[in-house]
Structure 1
């Protein structure tokens, strides 16, 4: 525990979400979830109209994981047991590098336990972590609408990742669907290649079978080589039959000729294979158990943690959730939210405009928010997670 002025500062860190998360939640009685979860969910949404935008909907702490959404985004980059980013850079041909980027993109999808969600980040909140030679920095750059910016760099591999993400959750009666809007890019600077990709939608389903899943279409494109991948993520059927749950199907093609090079098939929580259209050869390109299982809690150097760090901002709430002290958790969360409202009113009364510390923001022609890092390289972080 470090001190900030006369105030003690805590940092509460938990394991990244991984393939083990659902089993642990089941064995531990829901881990962080309060009792009578499904009944509480119906009560919570009883006055919300179908089609409502839930972007600024404040959940009681009893529905929260002990981590911020910023940490969730960051974990999808640094929470791996295999250095997939190095594989992207070391590919000997544009096609091999593209396949590695495709595998890395699949690795950013993680299972989420039913009934709980991360905290909505406060304005200016940050999350800064190092993973081997990769340094990752996130900042909440807007609150209305909520927008998170991510910058990750690996000087050793000369790789840069930039994300600008806006989750748009909507209530549809029997489910909440979250569209994750915004641009995601990876640059392999040794090769002069930039890859763009989007994210599938996240479904939080209440009826008829409660559960969570990722669904929708993902496109990965390299502008310089013309290589393109179209993937379709599928979930359960409406009635809850397993069917193609957590499956991925798609292809890799040369966009200049529309010639399909590989078929892609598998499950993002198991293995994904590609089949060469020329010779029929099949090979595994992604093994989820190898990459995102048994992830460990990061370590921290308390003296160098920023006061805006997610694990510090939400430490009192997370600590109470982990003790299942629901009253204390709700009290601590209300305190944070009330402080943010007070700061907003103070800025508004003084005519002050809040600006991010680590990114610049601009509006695109389509009206969405774009984010650019202020610095070329992300510095090493006081929070460290090992391969």
Structure 2
């Protein structure tokens, strides 16, 4: 049966009415502060009471009271389209390979956002999408696998200078007094007019339950450009005070060097939530590489521009009722709405299995190598303008 124009318009209006877009994570962290209960630490500890150390938490079902009102797809996207200063376009404007590489390192740091202890986004369901435009940059994400959870991203700009492609597979594991989410997969930044491709790792997310609750980014991010022969290592770590207690969890330190000679070109040092500096190894000149105050503070919330263009698979629509209930602290409605979403996803998965059908992503092709690493390729050359935009 084909919908009439009026029926399609009504369906689009209904979808837009249920689309809920919430403030991005930024230095202020206002959204989490509004949701945070007084006894959060005790409630978090109670979640893991019956979980064995070493357990994979990829499909651990959180109660809605512990959810941020947004999907993990939206968090991935926000790292690209919600930014105060455009670090991405700088990458294609560098006058030489070193300047462009340094700009890519700064952009990579800009995608790091303050995590929030005690809250997690929704686990995306298979086929869920998120499509947003910010200025001339258009971003499309799709959940291309559910077991294991794999998310794919494609972004292009109208000028044709920059393309982003990545495929990410988070693997959270419980270690008794902490949870560590290792994020597998490579981010690719392609500067098309220079024929340069930059491969970028992701830091891991470390949630400490004891002795003091905290959540922080950790690990070493490698950035490699084979065309220019340049490489970087950026370590996210916690500084330590006397006896290894306390310290600052938001430190970064690293270097940019030649892949061939291993000669250091510049040293990187600072805090990803404040400023990061770059020191020229030859001249000793120090400059600001990244400033979080201009990049990830006072960020704007996306809005729906084209109601008719919203897909039913759009994250903001798919989880709209759940997010609305969470924002209103209507916990019973949020619990029921979340269960409906998850039950529907399980039912569709069972129906496909019963029929022997293999689910195929709509926007990406997908493969897995013998080591369990995932790769994806966009089916379209460019991403079209989105029905959701970031206000200028």
- Structure 2: distance between partners of 1:309 and 1:203: 29
Conserved? CA contact 2:225–2:231, under 8 Å: yes
Alpha-carbon displacement from aligned partner over 1:347-377 (angstroms, at most 9, x marks no partner): 1111111111000111124222211110010
SS of the equivalent of 1:114 reads coil
Equivalent pairs, count? 381
Tell me if 1:190 matches 2:198. no
The answer to whether structure 1 residue 83 and structure 2 residue 91 are counterparts is no
Provide closer, same or farther for how the CA distance between residues 327 and 270 of structure 1 changes in structure 2, counting only shifts above 3 A: same
Q: Which residue of structure 2 lines up, in the alignment, with residue 161 of structure 1? A: 164
Q: What CA distance in whole angstroms lies between the structure 1 residues aligned with 2:338 and 2:51?
A: 22
Partner of 1:351: 356
Q: Is the 8 A contact 2:15 2:317 kept in 1?
A: no
Could you tell me the TM-score, scaled by structure 1's length?
Answer: 0.95
Please, which moves more after superposition, 49-58 or 203-212?
203-212
What do residues 300-352 of structure 1 show as CA deviations (whole Å, max 9, x unaligned)? Answer: 12221111000000001100100111111111101111111111111111111
Give the distance between the partners of 1:362 and 1:182, measured in 2 at CA.
12
In structure 1, the partner of 2:22 is: 14
User: 1-side partners of 2:120 and 2:40: how far apart?
Assistant: 13
1:237, distance to aligned residue in structure 2 (A): 5.2
Aligned to 2:111: 108
Q: Which runs of 5+ in 1 are unaligned?
A: none
CA–CA distance in 2 between the matches of 1:6 and 1:378? 24
Give the equivalent residue in structure 2 for 1:3: 10
Residue 3 (structure 2) aligns with: none
C-alpha separation in 1, matches of 2:313 and 2:213: 35
TM-score by length of 2: 0.94
1:378 paired with 2:378, answer no
Contact 1:251 1:263 in 2 (8 A): yes
Partner of 1:298: 302
- Residues 66-105 of structure 1: CA deviation (Å, up to 9, x unaligned): 0000000000011101111211001100100000000000
Q: Deviations over 1:118-166 (max 9, x none)?
A: 0000000000000111100000000000000000111315211001000
Shift in alpha-carbon separation, 1:123–1:255, aligned structure 2, 3 A:
same
* Range that drifts further, 175-184 or 236-245: 236-245
Q: How far is the alpha carbon of 1:192 from its aligned partner?
A: 0.7
Unpaired runs of 5+ residues, structure 2, are: 1-8
- Aligned with 2:359: secondary structure? coil
Supply the distance in 2 between the matched residues of 1:13 and 1:241 (Cα, whole angstroms).
Answer: 39
The residue number in structure 2 matching 1:58 is: 61
